[in-house]
Amino acid sequence: MTLITDVQLRKVLDSRGNATVEAVVHTERDGFGRASAPSGASTGEYEAIELPADEAIAQAREHAVSRLVGQVYAGDQRMVDRTLTAADGTDDFSRIGANSAVAISMAAAKAAADVLGAPLYQHLGGTFRGSDVPTPLGNMIGGGEHAVGGTHIQEYLSAPVGAPSVSDAVFANAAVHQTVGELLSDRGVTANKGDEGAWAPAITDEEAFDVLESAIAEVSDELGFRIEIGLDVAASELFADGSYQYGDNTRTTDEQIDYIAELVGDHELAYVEDPLEENDYEAFARLTDRVGEQTLICGDDLFVTNTDRLADGIGSGAANSILIKPNQIGTLSAAFDAIELAVENGYEPVISHRSGETEDATIAHLAVGTAAPFIKTGAVGGERTAKLNELIRIEDTA
Ligand code: PGA
Ligand code: ZN
């Protein structure tokens, strides 16, 4: 009853003003699903390939659409995704583009949920999964590839782990974001916002910790629950010629491990993403061995939502958490496989947006449907609040 009757593809705007792929899937019984692909800036070397939107659309129309229409049921997500994979025929979606693939994959899931009359998270997670809503990690201060001239560490995150509800957590992050803005202006520092809405002042990493800690203390006191700090170091972007480059400062791999371990202790970090470069499983394992009891060491560029790379990481003890970005791997099924492998091995899955986003809120449903403990999706800006407000709605109606 969810046979796909039409697949449309079009070019729409993303939050950076770039073109991205939007897919619409129609099925029997008036099923309708619409979804769009996000886009990274600090992309991992091993991610599935994003093609220019026009090319991805043309290739998917030529190779994938006729294999889906009249042949595949949107309710059979595995079959939808196997068909996309077969239509592509490569191991990195370089023929039809991971952007076309993920947009179609997500649109099919939405069309199936529409026919079933179920919320997307329930269709994705199944009825026994419950509706635990994840804690949002909000990007407060940043730099790296998302804002030239900002901090070296790409993202300073607010993690309202003590919030009694997702709504409280979302508003806590917004309050921390506002407070950071006020503290920066008190210090006479002007700041624009980076691609994910974080403040991007020209301050040092130490000053960023200082400002964020003050803001968190203020908001946490006022709201009466615990808020912790997380980081996305995005260290692959800092790594050049065998060492980590912080402007004029250089750290060897051993020094980088010491530095991150000190930050975890000094700032009681709840979460550290990509603290080392994406090929160095061994250094990841040494850091996880040192601080993995105290914090989450999360692989983003390291794992790229890929079960083969995650299996290598599990084997070597590289981390204890994985970032899940469906567009890194191209389909919802492959993202699910990565989540399942992670959970089976005690790794915490963290569902994530990209720096280039649209108003698509599928990741909010993916996070609830898989009972992920955290979702990283910014704090302010329409393409970020699309997901945060969806979490509030899910919590309110579940
Ligand atoms: P990206 O950044 O979407 O630009 O890759 C987000 C991240 O690194 O987590
Ligand atoms: Zn990252």
State in Å: Cα 84 to ligand 2 middle.
26
- 114 Cα–ligand 2 center, Å: 32
CA of 352 from ligand 2 middle (Å) equals: 9
The per-residue b/e assignment along 344-363, b for 16 or more CB within 10 angstroms, e otherwise, is eeebbbbbbbbbbbbebbbb
**Atom number, ligand 1, closest to the C-alpha of residue 355:** 3
Dist. CA 257 → ligand 2 center (Å): 18
Q: Order of strands across the sheet with 19-27?
A: 4-13, 19-27, 31-36
| DSSP per-residue codes, 205-253 | HHHHHHHHHHHHHHHHHHHTS--EEEEE--GGGTEETTEEEETTEEE-H
**Position in ligand 1 atom list of the atom nearest CA 356:** 3
Amino acid residing at 288: T
C-alpha span between 295 and 305 (Å, rounded)? 20
Give the residue from 398, 383, 391, 13 showing the smallest Cα distance to 166.
391
Cβ(43) – ligand 1 distance below 6 Å: yes
Helices (DSSP H) in the chain: which residue ranges? 53-63, 65-68, 77-88, 98-116, 120-125, 166-186, 205-223, 253-267, 281-291, 307-316, 326-329, 332-344, 362-369, 382-397
Find, among 279, 342, 280, the residue nearest to 305 by Cα: 342
Q: For position 131, what pLDDT does the model report?
A: 73
354 lines ligand 1 (CB under 6 A): yes
Residue 234 beta carbon below 6 angstroms from any ligand 1 atom: yes
Q: Which of 237, 316, 224 is nearest to 276 (CA)?
A: 237
Model pLDDT, residue 257: 99
Instruction: Give 43-60 pLDDT, tens digit per residue.
Output: 999 999 999 999 999 999
Delimiting residues of CATH 3.20.20.120 domain(s) in the chain: 135-397
Looking at ligand 1, which atom is closest to the CA of residue 39? 3
Atom nearest to 146 CA in ligand 1: 4
Ligand 1 lined by 41 (C-beta under 6 Å): yes
Q: Which of 151, 352, 375, 376 to mutate to test the pocket of ligand 1 (most atoms within 8 A of CB)?
A: 352
Rounded distance from Cα 329 to ligand 1 centre (Å): 14
pLDDT at 101: 99
CATH 3.30.390.10 placement within the chain: 4-117
Write the CATH number of the domain with boundaries 4-117: 3.30.390.10
CA–centroid distance for 30 within its chain: 31
198 Cβ contact list (under 8 Å, min separation 6): 139, 140, 141, 142, 146, 147, 155, 156, 177, 378, 379
- pLDDT tens, residue order, the chain (398 aa): 899 999 999 999 999 999 999 999 999 999 999 999 999 999 999 999 999 999 999 999 999 999 999 999 999 999 999 999 999 999 999 999 999 999 999 999 999 999 999 999 999 998 777 778 999 999 999 998 888 888 999 999 999 999 999 999 999 999 999 999 999 999 999 999 999 999 999 999 999 999 999 999 999 999 999 999 999 999 999 999 999 999 999 999 999 999 999 999 999 999 999 999 999 999 999 999 999 999 999 999 999 999 999 999 999 999 999 999 999 999 999 999 999 999 999 999 999 999 999 999 999 999 999 999 999 999 999 999 999 999 999 999 98
Architecture of domain 135-397: Alpha-Beta Barrel (3.20)
SS3 19: strand
Active-site option among 145, 193, 278, 325:
325
Measured in degrees and rounded to the nearest 5, phi and psi for residue 193 equal -110, 145
Q: Is the CB of 300 under 6 A from ligand 1?
A: yes
Model confidence pTM above 0.75: yes
Q: Is the CB of 232 under 6 A from ligand 1?
A: yes
Q: Is 11 a catalytic residue?
A: no
* Nearest ligand to residue 302 Cα: 2
Positive or negative torsion for Cα 91, 96, 102, 105 = negative
Question: Ligand 1: distance of its center to the CA of 355 in Å?
Answer: 5
Which of these is catalytic: 196, 357, 390, 395?
196
Q: Given the CA of residue 353, which atom of ligand 1 is nearest to it?
A: 3
C-alpha separations of 242 from 144, 279, 318 in Å: 18, 11, 19
376 catalytic residue (yes or no):
no
